[in-house]
Amino acid sequence: MRLKDRTALITGAASGIGKAIALRFAEEGARIVIADQTDEPREGGAKTLGEIEAMGGEAVFTEMDVANWTSVDSAVSFAVEKYGALDIIVNNAAIGVSKPILETTEEDWERVMGVNARGVFFGCKRAIQQMLTQPERDGVRGRIVNISSQHGMVRSPNDFAYGTGKAAVVYMTRQIAGDYAADGIVCNAVAPGKILTGKSGPASDPAILAYSHARTPWPRLGLPRDVANAVLFLASDEATYITGENLMVDGGWMAN
């Protein structure tokens, strides 16, 4: 019960990695605010809220558009009104368009950066506003975990906007960690490698899977729970004297 009596807001928590993080946090006793544009999992299956309630956990769903400040503000305010504080925020929501720069339209760019960069900016800013009002607990007022990507540090093949947005997440994580450490706010990131979420589309294209296998030393590709375990560590009190880090969960991709 590493997160007992903690409130965690997780963006994009209806599906994939976000859902896995929500379920893992609930297993460890957190009160979960599932923040997403819909409560329907993109990969199908049971809803996050239903699964948490089935395990005896506590959670609520709130509709949220990470690219809209009013929506982000409302979601955080809702979490605080419901549970009294915001101990953890996980900025997980992200999108891509799978296009190289010459095929990326201005509309594509704005849409992807709106979620992947502006959405993390809004989530961090609103969380910090709230966390600064909260008392310290063992020197910490709140924890931010951003989901970046190995493609924020190396080329994202033929997905120019996605990789650029994820690079921004890595930078924001370090900037916030330095600026607000004295205030007791911890900010880290987790960078997944290739994670099999079960969704269709480019992510499950045989050529992309073959490329990912070739780049990954570990004999299997990643699963959402692999990422969730790393996020759990950084969101817990076990992560002491750690801030501004970008933790790879990539099966050795970046070491290869």
Q: Which residues are catalytic?
A: 162
Q: Which residues contact 65 (CB under 8 A, 6 or more apart)?
A: 37, 71, 72
Dihedral, 75, 79, 81, 87 alpha carbons, nearest 10: -130
* Count of C-beta atoms within a 10 Å radius of residue 177: 19
| 186 touches 242 (CB < 8 A) | yes
Distances, alpha carbon 11 to alpha carbons 7, 60, 203, 219, 240, in Å: 13, 13, 20, 30, 24
- The type of residue at 218 is W
